[in-house]
Structure 1
Amino acid sequence: MKQELKLRIVSGLILAIIVLAATWYGGFIFRILAAAIALLIYYEWSVITGIARDPVTNVLGWVGEVLVALLVLAGAFDYALGMLIVLTALGIAMIFLHRASRWFAPGLLYAGGTGLALAAIRGDETFGLYAMLFIFAVVWATDILAYFVGRTIGGPKLAPRISPGKTWSGAVGGAISAVIAGAVIVHFLIPEAQDRAAVIALVLSVFSQSGDLFESFIKRKFGVKDSSRLIPGHGGVMDRVDGLIFACFSAFLLAGLFSLIKGGGMTSLGAALLGL
């Protein structure tokens, strides 16, 4: 086994243990993880897109993202959402007032929204744990099976200009496996959520694959191979969580909609996502 592959496997296992342990404990421990992921994503985004080279924009971005992260750490998800909306609007205004990069506002939303979505879905309740395990199962099944099915069957390319290696067969295989993985998790943990599990798993799988393509587009546009070298053998944080980001965004929006319909708040989004 090559040294690079060994390094990739070891670091991958360590990351999985950290993420699953934090997810299991939940509460402040998981919010630390969510906030850290958000800040690391913003770091990588700012470097890739060149935002880091503009002192004014860079400082504003970091101040805003740290404020969002602190609100996420405090569990003040409503305030974090409000801050993120204001920050994104300010980022758009900076394009006109300061001629900031057009990638500034999307980066603020991409990074801050990731931390908020992760923390709000996990929450402090058991159903939040189940919801995150459901999302992880869907995203990981999509990622792994899309790769193997695509390599085995091949066929027409999904988006050759963005990611030449991805195929339609892989996309369909990943989506089917995601539905199966989600159904298994729900069957054993929350059988009362079976009615909507398959549909939600399919939606999350589609968004997960869209997130993967989006990050590939960003890296191709700016001519980088990896988002950074923060993770030995894997590249950067964005490289590892690209699918999870979009899956969590979609889960956050769906859960928020379901919660709004039921008259709930942002404290039980995990339960809302699963219809509980």
Structure 2
Amino acid sequence: MNIMSNWTELQKRLLSSVVLIPIALFCLWYGRWAYDLLILGVMVGLVWEGENLLNQSMKGVRGFALLLWPLCAGLIAIKGAWLMVFYLGMSGFFFGLRAWIPLFVSIVGGSSLLYLRGRPDGLYETLFVMAVVVASDSTAYAVGRLVGGPKLAPAISPGKTVSGSIGGLLGAALMGGLVAFYAQAYWSLSAFIWGGVIGVAAQAGDLGESAVKRRVGVKDSGTLIPGHGGLLDRFDGLLFAAPLAALLAYRAGHMAFWALGL
């Protein structure tokens, strides 16, 4: 029965991936309105899911305003008015600390992804971040299952191992180097290093969301994506990695952020 249940779950994951990955890649490649709409939808969805996860009421005017907040922030970010985005994100504290957390996380993460894609090398920089996060998550899972060993943070996420974390770090570094090579046709040591650093941020985001779910006593943040759980389950690492990459990109100016010296 357990084998059949695992197989059914795996089928759901694969089918969801077959549908979602091409859509995400098309939006990333095409950019413009397709990418903007994708990120805006994710921002609103993250707030809806986060507020429900924290048992915040989404009824009436308050619920409508909570969903309107990230949408407005995203639209302002598309226009490049970053100071206004910051003010809007901070003003969400008006709803109370518990309700503000999902708002702030959604606005910071979503705005960072919009900023990255809007840069001169935005396609490759955004692809770099997304690919590194996926590689970190996938290799951490695979190595953890194959090697096992001591738990990384048993009080937060009993399934994560030290070996998996190291594997995820190496996978993230390798993917960073590969994406940078694809973008510029030569190998870059700094790309491997920044890939690893962003991989650490992705793992921190994963652990952070696991801690919240453990605190509220749920397995998944939602049920929107069959076999994968909710948006927060899929975007937790990216919500930490994207702001870091955006800060690096801002510092890098017109060159790709992975070319920054250490």
- Structure 1 residue 69 displacement after superposition: 2.4
| Aligned counterparts, 1:97-116, within 5 A | 100=96, 102-116=97-111
The aligned residue for residue 42 of structure 1 is 47
**Cα RMSD (Å) of the superposition?**
2.1
The aligned residue for residue 191 of structure 2 is 197
- Cα distance in 1 between the residues matched to 2:246 and 2:252: 10
| Aligned with residue 179 of structure 1, among 158, 173, 181 | 173
Q: Which amino acid in 2 is paired with 1:49? A: L
- Cα distance in 2 between the residues matched to 1:33 and 1:56: 25
Does residue 1:246 correspond to 2:240, yes or no?
yes
Change (3 A) 1:63 1:137: closer
List gaps (5 residues or longer) in structure 2: none
- Structure 1 residue 113 displacement after superposition: 1.5
The aligned residue for residue 22 of structure 2 is 17
TM-score using structure 1 length: 0.85
| Aligned with residue 223 of structure 1, among 204, 217, 222 | 217
Query: Does the aligned pair in 2 maintain the 1:146–1:174 contact within 8 Å?
Result: yes
- Structure 1 residue 189 displacement after superposition: 2.0
Q: Secondary structure at the match of 1:225?
A: coil
List gaps (5 residues or longer) in structure 1: 260-267
Query: Does the aligned pair in 2 maintain the 1:258–1:273 contact within 8 Å?
Result: yes
- Cα distance in 1 between the residues matched to 2:215 and 2:30: 39
The aligned residue for residue 90 of structure 1 is 91
Q: Which amino acid in 1 is paired with 2:167? A: G
Q: Which amino acid in 1 is paired with 2:115? A: A
The aligned residue for residue 214 of structure 1 is 208
- Cα distance in 2 between the residues matched to 1:272 and 1:42: 30
Does residue 1:273 correspond to 2:261, yes or no?
no
The aligned residue for residue 30 of structure 1 is 35
1:50-83 superposed Cα distances (whole Å, 9 cap, x missing partner) = 22357665444323222112224xx213x2x323
Change (3 A) 1:33 1:246: same
- Cα distance in 2 between the residues matched to 1:85 and 1:105: 13
Q: Which amino acid in 2 is paired with 1:113? A: V
Change (3 A) 1:54 1:257: farther
Q: Percent identity?
A: 36
- Cα distance in 1 between the residues matched to 2:139 and 2:226: 23
| Aligned counterparts, 1:13-162, within 5 A | 13-52=18-57, 58-72=63-77, 75-77=78-80, 79=81, 81-92=82-93, 94=94, 100=96, 102-123=97-118, 125=120, 127-162=121-156
Query: Does the aligned pair in 2 maintain the 1:39–1:69 contact within 8 Å?
Result: no
Q: Which amino acid in 2 is paired with 1:64? A: W
- Cα distance in 2 between the residues matched to 1:58 and 1:193: 49
Query: Does the aligned pair in 1 maintain the 2:201–2:240 contact within 8 Å?
Result: yes
The aligned residue for residue 264 of structure 1 is none
Q: Secondary structure at the match of 2:149?
A: coil
Query: Does the aligned pair in 1 maintain the 2:180–2:187 contact within 8 Å?
Result: yes
Query: Does the aligned pair in 2 maintain the 1:139–1:204 contact within 8 Å?
Result: yes
- Cα distance in 2 between the residues matched to 1:233 and 1:201: 27
Query: Does the aligned pair in 1 maintain the 2:129–2:241 contact within 8 Å?
Result: yes
- Cα distance in 2 between the residues matched to 1:52 and 1:82: 29
Q: Number of residues paired by the alignment? A: 255
TM-score using structure 2 length: 0.89
